[in-house]
Structure 1
Amino acid sequence: MMRRVLLLAGIVGSAAAYPQGPVTANGAKLFDFEKAQLTEDILSKLDDVFQFDNGDDVKLNGRGAGADCKVFPGDSAWPSDAAWAKFGKAVGPGALIKTVPLASPCYNGPLYDAAKCDALTANWTNSFLHMADPTSMMSPVYQGLTCQVTEDPTQSCTLGALPYYAVNISTVAQVQLTINFARNNNIRLVVKNTGHDFSGKSGGAGSLSIWTHNLKNIKHIPSYSAPGTSYTGPAFKAGAGAQAFEMYEAANKKGLVVLGGEGKTVGIMGGYMQGGGHSPLSSLYGIAADQVLSMEVTTADGKFVTADFTQNTDLFWALRGGGGSTFGVVTSLIIKAYPDMQVTASNFSFAVGGDVTLENFWIGVRNYLDYFPSLAAEGIYAYWFILAGETGPTFKMMPFLAPGKTADETNALLAPWLAQLAALNIHVTPVTTNYDNFLTGWEASFPLEVVEKTHVASGSRLWPKENWANKESLDAMFNAIKTSSEAGLIIIAFLIDPSAQATPPDNAVNSAWRNTYSHMIQSVSWPLGASAEFQKETRQNFTFGAMQRWRDVSPGAGSYLAESDILEPNFQQSFYGKAYPRLLKLKKQLDPKDVFFAQTAVGSEFWQVVTADGLPSGNGKLCRVKK
């Protein structure tokens, strides 16, 4: 066995050991890391746990795929230390990482280091810190809050929902090995790129994680013709680890733009694209998933395939909007690119106080909603907040982004609403700045994400265009938003219409995205250190109180699955819309042994995470829902 493992490790660690390998359409060659793939010949020399799934029901020492629960540390069927060591040798030197919580230096023990703890504490909410860690989760509520930075080193630090092991992926062969090992041992498998997800999908207690963060290859394709489509034009092929700032910089160097998130550290070529993805350019070009022309993916059976408009078309359809960690592990994508453009950003705020009465404040906000259809038609993407405060609410525009517009054109678009505000004694002086390219405007306009919110839960709504059909329906929507603010909830919202100037392709993107003028998030908080019972009551009141008010005045609408409430009732309709029946059918076909699982992902209703405190998190054993 040892000789076989060493043979495999040598191949996994060296793409040069492989021939040129296949290419994707139009000569878009595989990246070197994708050329290093497992073959039947290699696997014929290895043990059962490394084999592809060829349709048989593999049962190894009681670890069959039909078991009631995924194997958990401490279970008799959990792989031995020797088995993990063999797996570590198989994936190559240093690739298998046993999880050490990022905050470990703050706790008594061999890793305690007061200076390191102080540095971590000072930087703890910076998303760059957590994205560079193989297992750290940006939503600690769903990790279980078992190892946060602390000034009390006598507290305990445990893994909670952090994966037990992670594999730092540098070749496709490592992805294949990890999927095969997890499937054949019935171990919970998760995927992490950067961990940007409101529901903690990148974690899971007792899991093995595929960490794709370092797959950052980016290649410009000057002219790409996508078979099966009419698209011929510039494109980029990028590894799954490429983030927003990296993609925007690469595009800028070629005089181009691509669709990605407003957040600087979002891993846009991973779960963002697979979950749909809204962008500052969405009101011009649609949802991010609409831009995908081809994908390289390893499926639940361990096989590496290309999915596009002419091959593996069902898989390709599902991966564009059906959610990450569900149908396979994507290692690279080819996406459309567009000519770079000037952008103008305008920032301003107003609040209750002085000459601004509470009544006039809300009249001003209500007037703003009237302009959404006309502004969306101009390609506007507005990022705005309503924050509750002791003296009254504050409205913040951060920013009003006008792609392709001059400063004068942008000010003209804002002028009618600002005139209404002035008539209400709400005098604002926008700071409006024009940038001659998208990258510079984006870098200057959007803040770095604040992460590690330990006592916050959020939910979202894609407000349907029907709410703008008449005054009564828009008033009902406004009143629901106002009621949330008056209850102390934070409102984070976007003016966006992904269908304004784009014909959507046939993909799995939530149909609610095709019929909205606003994606809106509300967040509830509870006191630090609140009991599990208090947290559960707060969460229930939020989901079935505040969120239900929003659902009641937007019947049939939906929610953005990556920025959503983990307790959302009927998440299948809310997060996936009309696509869900087909997605579920494909899930059963493509992943019949449920190798992939994520909270609120397609097919997750057949599984449950059994937590000790009853709170919704990944901190517990993953078991089938009993019929």
Structure 2
Amino acid sequence: MAALSNLISTGRITDQGADADAYPCYAGAGYDSRDCQQIQKYYNRPGFLIGKAGSMQAFNWEDLGNQRCTLEGANEWNMQCQFGRTPAFAVDVHVPDDIQKALAFASQHNLRVVIKSTGHDYFGRSTAPGALLIWLHNFQGQLETKMTFTPSGCDASSQTVDPVITVTGGKTWDDVYPKVDQDFNGKYCIVAGYCIDIGAAGGYTLGGGHSILSTVFGLAVDNVLEMTVVTADGQLLTANSCQNKDLFWALRGGGGGTFGVVTSITFDAAGWGGYHFYNPAFGFSFMFLKLADAGSTRASPPFDQLLKEFTDMEVASRVLARPFANVGTYYKHYDRLECADVFLRQDWRSWSDTTGIYDGFYAGSRVALGSRLIPVTSLVQSRTTAQTILAGASKLGQLATFGFLHINGNGVRNNPHAADTSVTPAWRKSGWHAILVTGWDGSTSEEDIAFVKGLLESGTQVWRDAYPDSGAYFNEASTTEPNWQQAFWGSNYPRLQQIKKTVDPNGMFVCSQCVGSESWDATGNCRI
């Protein structure tokens, strides 16, 4: 790696052994009591993990069996700090030239490359043992807003009506939201993530990106105007509707870590201002039902009826007490949700403190997900739909956290840019995105983890069987999703596969259940 280090102009090479999560807390040459105290204080905070190249916010993607370097392991006298699933080396890139030289080095030495922005990743696609990691946290560049924008290479007829904001690879939504508020005077918002620790130009957007505002303004990818990306051959390309159009289409929903290293994204801002949404996470789903079809501030009757079906089913409180506690909270504060505009003008944190809905996303957890996009047509039979969703969730009982993300509305279903994106067409026919989440701690045995995952899979399968022609959200789905190509991309997959072969013919970028990964074994390191 010394040769690569000499090539990098502004960044650096990190040795993941010394940079592992809790390395200073392990007995031996690396032990440092002062550093260990800081780690113990901030260990489960996203900001701490984002600032370490090899750290993932879901620790099961650092674990490789008992091989890990987490804090709980440091408390066991016979444990050693081990890489686990963490790559041995990461390139801390600051400018495009750093990325280009790192990819050239990887190509020369036949190395697999994975890409990490913040590590907010439920699939472990941002890490892999044996790979070279491109770390974008310190990537340079300022947030830039403009009142009008013409994509590069386009004529004046492509100029936007709304303002835009361009974000670079290392920025999070916590950086973006204040900038939008400040520069656009509360008159415009951006379709973006709930959790502020998500990378704004990373996998969230590249995988589709749902938002509380999706019902009106569509998915995040529906609002992307331009991207810059370094491809496997080292080219820094601009992709938009006028140049590199196939690549632009693929990047708008084809998933992160697949087609290249995205260095910037330009988003169209939405002219319905005053939104301050901060990190509602898993407890939020039932709050969003007042954001129905575009132009409406009241929920459509089928959604209200479906919620009432849940509350009428006593099994919900018996079998799934924690997940369904939020239904009662939703109705308790129903009047406060009558007007979407008033609701959204409140700061998320203060609102969630008042209602008790906010549970938060806890970094340092170990989680697994299962999900399905529920067709909007199913809402006609609200009781049957409620029973089906409960049947899947009840497979896990108290082991599950159960959430809905309301994505119904003209913003998603009838978005004018739908054909210009590569997300599964099932998004455009869905009313709800239903999720099952389960987890475990670091002391759980491999046998018990397999048992819990088996329950999760059986619950998710209930939903697959009920809605076989639908799909699942690439960023929030089961890691064992059968026929994942169809589930994540549907009829778009053959075109995505061809674009992948064109821009990355040697398979430099490989990640779990990503476009082209069927050509590789389960480790992602050996071609089949």
1:196 to 104, 108, 120: 120
1:186 aligned partner, one-letter code: N
* 110-119 or 489-498: bigger deviation: 110-119
For 1:569 and 1:225, locate their aligned partners in 2 and report how far apart those are by CA, in whole Å.
Answer: 41
| Equivalent in the alignment of 1:289 | 221
* 150-159 or 314-323: bigger deviation: 150-159
Deviation at 1:116, TM superposition (A): 3.1
After the TM superposition, which residues 55-134 of structure 1 pair with which residues of structure 2 at under 5 Å, given as runs?
A: 84-92=1-9, 95-99=12-16, 100-134=19-53
| Equivalent in the alignment of 1:237 | 166
SS in 2 for 1:375: coil
1:270-289 deviation line (CA, Å, top 9, x unaligned) = 11111111112111100001
| Equivalent in the alignment of 2:179 | 250
SS in 2 for 1:582: helix
| Equivalent in the alignment of 2:484 | 571
Deviation at 1:160, TM superposition (A): 1.3
SS in 2 for 1:96: strand
| Equivalent in the alignment of 2:516 | 603
For 2:514 and 2:127, locate their aligned partners in 1 and report how far apart those are by CA, in whole Å.
Answer: 13
Contact 1:380-1:400 within 8 A present in 2 as well: no
Deviation at 1:458, TM superposition (A): 1.4
Does 1:271 find its partner at 2:193? no
| Equivalent in the alignment of 1:624 | 527
SS in 2 for 1:624: coil
Residues 606 and 580 (structure 1), Cα distance of their counterparts in 2 relative to 1, 3 Å cut: same
SS in 2 for 1:166: strand
Residues 563 and 158 (structure 1), Cα distance of their counterparts in 2 relative to 1, 3 Å cut: same
Does 1:222 find its partner at 2:147? yes
Structure whose residues are more often helix by fraction = 2
| Equivalent in the alignment of 1:474 | 385
Deviation at 1:474, TM superposition (A): 2.1
1:139 aligned partner, one-letter code: A
For 2:276 and 2:3, locate their aligned partners in 1 and report how far apart those are by CA, in whole Å.
Answer: 55
SS in 2 for 1:477: helix
| Equivalent in the alignment of 1:583 | 496
Contact 2:62-2:84 within 8 A present in 1 as well: yes
Contact 1:388-1:490 within 8 A present in 2 as well: no
After the TM superposition, which residues 539-578 of structure 1 pair with which residues of structure 2 at under 5 Å, given as runs?
A: 539-543=453-457, 545-578=458-491
For 2:262 and 2:487, locate their aligned partners in 1 and report how far apart those are by CA, in whole Å.
Answer: 24
Contact 1:237-1:335 within 8 A present in 2 as well: yes
1:159-189 deviation line (CA, Å, top 9, x unaligned) = 1111211111111111111111112211121
- Determine which structure has more spread, i.e. the larger CA radius of gyration: 1
TM-score normalised per structure 1: 0.70
For 2:114 and 2:232, locate their aligned partners in 1 and report how far apart those are by CA, in whole Å.
Answer: 12
1:235 aligned partner, one-letter code: V
| Equivalent in the alignment of 1:301 | 233
Deviation at 1:315, TM superposition (A): 0.3
After the TM superposition, which residues 449-488 of structure 1 pair with which residues of structure 2 at under 5 Å, given as runs?
A: 449-454=361-366, 456-471=367-382, 473-481=384-392, 483-484=394-395, 486=397, 488=399
1:337 aligned partner, one-letter code: A
| Equivalent in the alignment of 2:69 | 147
Which runs of no fewer than 5 residues in structure 2 stay unpaired?
A: 353-357
Contact 1:284-1:501 within 8 A present in 2 as well: no
Residues 550 and 268 (structure 1), Cα distance of their counterparts in 2 relative to 1, 3 Å cut: same
Residues 557 and 399 (structure 1), Cα distance of their counterparts in 2 relative to 1, 3 Å cut: farther
Residues 95 and 483 (structure 1), Cα distance of their counterparts in 2 relative to 1, 3 Å cut: same
For 1:344 and 1:258, locate their aligned partners in 2 and report how far apart those are by CA, in whole Å.
Answer: 10
* 504-513 or 285-294: bigger deviation: 504-513
Contact 1:299-1:590 within 8 A present in 2 as well: yes
Residues 253 and 113 (structure 1), Cα distance of their counterparts in 2 relative to 1, 3 Å cut: same
For 2:350 and 2:85, locate their aligned partners in 1 and report how far apart those are by CA, in whole Å.
Answer: 33
Deviation at 1:389, TM superposition (A): 8.2
Residues 563 and 471 (structure 1), Cα distance of their counterparts in 2 relative to 1, 3 Å cut: closer
For 1:624 and 1:380, locate their aligned partners in 2 and report how far apart those are by CA, in whole Å.
Answer: 52
Residues 241 and 289 (structure 1), Cα distance of their counterparts in 2 relative to 1, 3 Å cut: same
SS in 2 for 1:508: coil
For 2:221 and 2:41, locate their aligned partners in 1 and report how far apart those are by CA, in whole Å.
Answer: 36
For 1:317 and 1:191, locate their aligned partners in 2 and report how far apart those are by CA, in whole Å.
Answer: 20
SS in 1 for 2:502: helix
1:411-463 deviation line (CA, Å, top 9, x unaligned) = 4479xxxxxxxxxxxxxxxxx975647xx447854665312223x32112111
Which runs of no fewer than 5 residues in structure 1 stay unpaired?
A: 1-83, 349-364, 402-406, 415-431, 611-620
* 174-183 or 105-114: bigger deviation: 105-114
2:207 aligned partner, one-letter code: G
Deviation at 1:587, TM superposition (A): 0.8
1:244 aligned partner, one-letter code: W
Residues 510 and 390 (structure 1), Cα distance of their counterparts in 2 relative to 1, 3 Å cut: closer
Residues 294 and 106 (structure 1), Cα distance of their counterparts in 2 relative to 1, 3 Å cut: same
1:275 aligned partner, one-letter code: G
Contact 1:344-1:433 within 8 A present in 2 as well: no
Residues 580 and 246 (structure 1), Cα distance of their counterparts in 2 relative to 1, 3 Å cut: same
For 2:238 and 2:291, locate their aligned partners in 1 and report how far apart those are by CA, in whole Å.
Answer: 40
Residues 183 and 560 (structure 1), Cα distance of their counterparts in 2 relative to 1, 3 Å cut: same
1:149 aligned partner, one-letter code: L
1:360-397 deviation line (CA, Å, top 9, x unaligned) = xxxxx9xx89x969835536899x99998899444226
Deviation at 1:542, TM superposition (A): 2.5
Residues 106 and 397 (structure 1), Cα distance of their counterparts in 2 relative to 1, 3 Å cut: farther
Does 1:138 find its partner at 2:57? yes
| Equivalent in the alignment of 1:395 | 325
1:623 aligned partner, one-letter code: C
1:208-227 deviation line (CA, Å, top 9, x unaligned) = 11111223521111111343
For 1:276 and 1:379, locate their aligned partners in 2 and report how far apart those are by CA, in whole Å.
Answer: 25
Deviation at 1:571, TM superposition (A): 1.0
Contact 1:107-1:157 within 8 A present in 2 as well: yes
Percent identity between matched residues is 29
For 2:260 and 2:508, locate their aligned partners in 1 and report how far apart those are by CA, in whole Å.
Answer: 9
| Equivalent in the alignment of 1:38 | none
SS in 1 for 2:121: coil
Contact 1:290-1:504 within 8 A present in 2 as well: yes
| Equivalent in the alignment of 1:22 | none
Deviation at 1:528, TM superposition (A): 4.9
| Equivalent in the alignment of 2:402 | 491
Deviation at 1:198, TM superposition (A): 0.3
SS in 2 for 1:88: helix
SS in 1 for 2:71: coil
For 2:243 and 2:235, locate their aligned partners in 1 and report how far apart those are by CA, in whole Å.
Answer: 14
State the Cα RMSD in Å: 3.5
Deviation at 1:510, TM superposition (A): 2.1
* 599-608 or 151-160: bigger deviation: 151-160
SS in 1 for 2:371: strand
SS in 2 for 1:280: coil
1:173 aligned partner, one-letter code: D
For 2:104 and 2:320, locate their aligned partners in 1 and report how far apart those are by CA, in whole Å.
Answer: 58
Contact 1:284-1:502 within 8 A present in 2 as well: no
For 1:535 and 1:373, locate their aligned partners in 2 and report how far apart those are by CA, in whole Å.
Answer: 38
For 2:349 and 2:329, locate their aligned partners in 1 and report how far apart those are by CA, in whole Å.
Answer: 10
SS in 1 for 2:434: strand
Contact 1:388-1:486 within 8 A present in 2 as well: no
Deviation at 1:541, TM superposition (A): 3.9
1:523 aligned partner, one-letter code: V
